[in-house]
Amino acid sequence: MRNIRALIRKLLNIINPAYRAASATRHQLTLVQNDMERVKASLNAIMYVVKTTSSDSSTIWKSTNLHYSSLLNKKLLLIGNEKYICDLIDFFDGLNFEKRSEIIPSEVYGKENTLYVICDFNKLNYSYINELVLTHGTDYLWIDDIIGILDESETFYTQVYFPNRHIILLGDNSKMTQDILKSNPNMLTHSLLEINDWDVDLNSFIKDNIVYIPKEPLFLIHTQRPEIAQKSMEKAGYVTGKDFYLYDSNNVKWSKMLRETIKCELLENMTCTINIRAYLHSSGVLESCCGRIAEPLGSVFNNSLENIVIGPMARILYLSTVNRTYCFCSDYCKSLERARLNFSDNVNRIKFQLPDLSKYVISAAYIRACNLYCRTCRNEILDDDMGEKNLYIHQTYLNAMPQMGGVEVTTGELLVSKLALEIIELDRSRSIGIITNGTMMNKKNLEYLLEKYDELKIYFSFDAGTKETFEYIRRGANFDTVVENLELVGKYRRTGRISALGVYCVVSRSNFRELDKIIVIGRKAGVDFIEFKRIIERSHMEGDFSESDVFDPRNPDYLEFVNLVKNNSVFTCNDIHFQDLNELLEV
């Protein structure tokens, strides 16, 4: 009941100013209406508390008091599973944690700012806690209580990344913003505004509807028209990721995903080395690592690149590599593949150092212009997408380049794309990675790139070992020209002028019998590696896709393909990376 009284006092602090304002102007009445929405949400919380008083006191405490800021000035004494403890310390690095080997009641009795955190998901292991006369919520918390902070996703995000900023909720309709408020009762909300027309003068709209605008407000926008809303906010002078951000429904997954990687067992005794790569797609989504990881980091239509790479999703995905559970990684990962073949027990947990944008190499994967129309990719030659959406993504990329650790162009063909060439002209990083079809990678173009970059990594897309098959798959290309250019780049690699040279091959029913020939060609040119990837189904493909995918057991040539891989030891060599190799070897 003490917690209920405290909540009621907090509620009265909201109500009294609101009613005092009721005698003022129409604008003040609007503020009263907004405040009453907060009152309504708080009343719902009280009803929930009263309803559960007799059944679950732990739920009462959590529902009314526990959020990130409420723990900032507390000393949290960790006891329990060592991995769980390390994971909590790494993820919530802003909290004051101390490790303990046993529970000593005198450390928390009568001390409001000191609590034990029991790092065990099985409460039966600590059933003796009741005999110590300790109270949940006052003297101790469970690990699930701490993880549950993320259930209030926007509260957590704003408290960690925008501390003490007053939030103005702005949305297409009041229900959308009220839903956010109800699920985030501890967020420092100032006002709720409904906006039906994003083409209005936003500054005037905000001034007309809010009597008192706090210093440096943070706008949280919930809309079904993110691109239009973002454009309107930026037109009004607000900066994405600094003055406002857009609600992302993926945020509600944070607590579930954090719990998953903490509870998950160690998968591989290895340290990931490629979790500072990301791909910016034509949808505006930024994907981590190889692009096959479970969830995207975020979207540039919701937040800035600088914020996305250090946000909660990035922290969770990074933690899953630091604690070596890799629970969100794809089965296809060349690092994990090699780890399984070369397993070691002598790998220590690395220090948690979440990389910021300066450590990231980001690929401009929104570029599509290409002089070929390969059967595995498209049915026509495409130019750059010069639509408003794609140009916004491109400008976002250009603006962030000075802060990036490196740039890559891995889609389309760099030398025929105006957008890609603009990246090269403006890039000052002196380092770039390129995936090319090889048709234009001649001496003249190589020298042009080497003038711009001290570190140049070139990867050829090379899908066959004979001229006939190659030119059938890679429509518009000349096999002899590409082989000649590959060998030319190989000479540059041997002299050290090229930092890395590799070959990527998309394996299909058309070329799987020529994989050994591709290896011969690549090794002759002096490549560092050859990577064989499974064909991906695309919208332009007709008929039954399994007919093309020899990785599919339904494919008529599946067993021939499997035997070809199993009976040739070359595919297990260190310079050969093969998707799903372990699975194929076990068939």
Residues 476-513 have pLDDT tens digits of 999 999 999 999 999 999 999 999 999 999 999 999 99
In the chain, how many domains are there?
Answer: 4
Parallel/antiparallel/unpaired status of strands 285-288 and 277-281: antiparallel
The CA dihedral of 175, 389, 355, 273, to the nearest 10 degrees, is 120
The pLDDT score that the predictor gives to residue 30 is 45
Q: Residue 61: is its pLDDT beyond 90?
A: no
The pLDDT score that the predictor gives to residue 343 is 52
Residues 473 and 555 in one domain: yes
Residues 53 and 78 in one domain: no
Are the C-beta atoms of residues 190 and 214 closer than 8 Å to each other? yes
Are the C-beta atoms of residues 291 and 301 closer than 8 Å to each other? no
What would the mean pLDDT of 125-145 be, rounded to a whole number? Answer: 92
Classify the C-alpha dihedral 85-86-87-91 as positive or negative: positive
**Which of the pair, 285 or 17, is modelled with greater confidence?**
285
Residue type, 531: E
Domain that holds residue 221: 153-247
Are the C-beta atoms of residues 459 and 503 closer than 8 Å to each other? yes
Residues 445 and 554 in one domain: yes
- Rounded Cα–Cα distance for residues 352 and 14 (Å): 40
Residues 179 and 32 in one domain: no
Residues 34 and 163 in one domain: no
CATH of the domain at 432: 3.20.20.70
How deeply is 194 buried, as exposed, middle or buried, from its count of CB atoms within 10 A (0-12, 13-18, 19+)? middle
The pLDDT score that the predictor gives to residue 31 is 45
The pLDDT score that the predictor gives to residue 275 is 63
- Rounded Cα–Cα distance for residues 22 and 35 (Å): 11
Residues 172 and 196 in one domain: yes
The pLDDT score that the predictor gives to residue 572 is 87
Residues 108 and 56 in one domain: no
Write the secondary structure of 526-550 as one string of H (helix), E (strand) and C (coil).
Answer: CCCEEEEEECCCCCCCCCCHHHCCC
Residues 137 and 125 in one domain: yes
- Domain boundary among the residues 221, 247, 273 is at 247
Residues 435 and 537 in one domain: yes
Residues 378 and 480 in one domain: yes
Range in 94-108, 157-171, 567-581 with the lowest mean pLDDT: 567-581
Residue 283: band (very low, low, confident or very high) from pLDDT cuts 50, 70, 90: very high
Who contacts 515 (Cβ-Cβ below 8 Å, separation ≥6)? Answer: 465, 505, 507, 532, 564, 571
Q: Over the chain, what is the mean pLDDT? A: 86
The conformation of residue 495, written as its DSSP 8-state character, comes to: T
Residue type, 491: K
Dump pLDDT digits (tens) for 437-450. Answer: 999 999 999 999 99
Classify the C-alpha dihedral 109-113-119-121 as positive or negative: positive
- Domain boundary among the residues 247, 272, 288 is at 247
Token pair, residue 585, equals: 């070897």
Residues 428 and 513 in one domain: yes
Q: Is 203 part of any domain?
A: yes
- Rounded Cα–Cα distance for residues 312 and 157 (Å): 7
Residues 130 and 176 in one domain: no
CATH of the domain at 89: 3.40.50
Q: Residue 525: is its pLDDT beyond 80?
A: yes
Dump pLDDT digits (tens) for 176-217. Answer: 888 999 999 999 999 999 998 999 999 999 999 998 999 999
pTM over 0.85: no
- Domain boundary among the residues 212, 247, 282 is at 247
Q: Is 461 part of any domain?
A: yes
What ranges in 303-387 are assigned the alpha helix state H?
A: 305-308, 312-322, 334-341
Percent of the chain with pLDDT over 90: 70
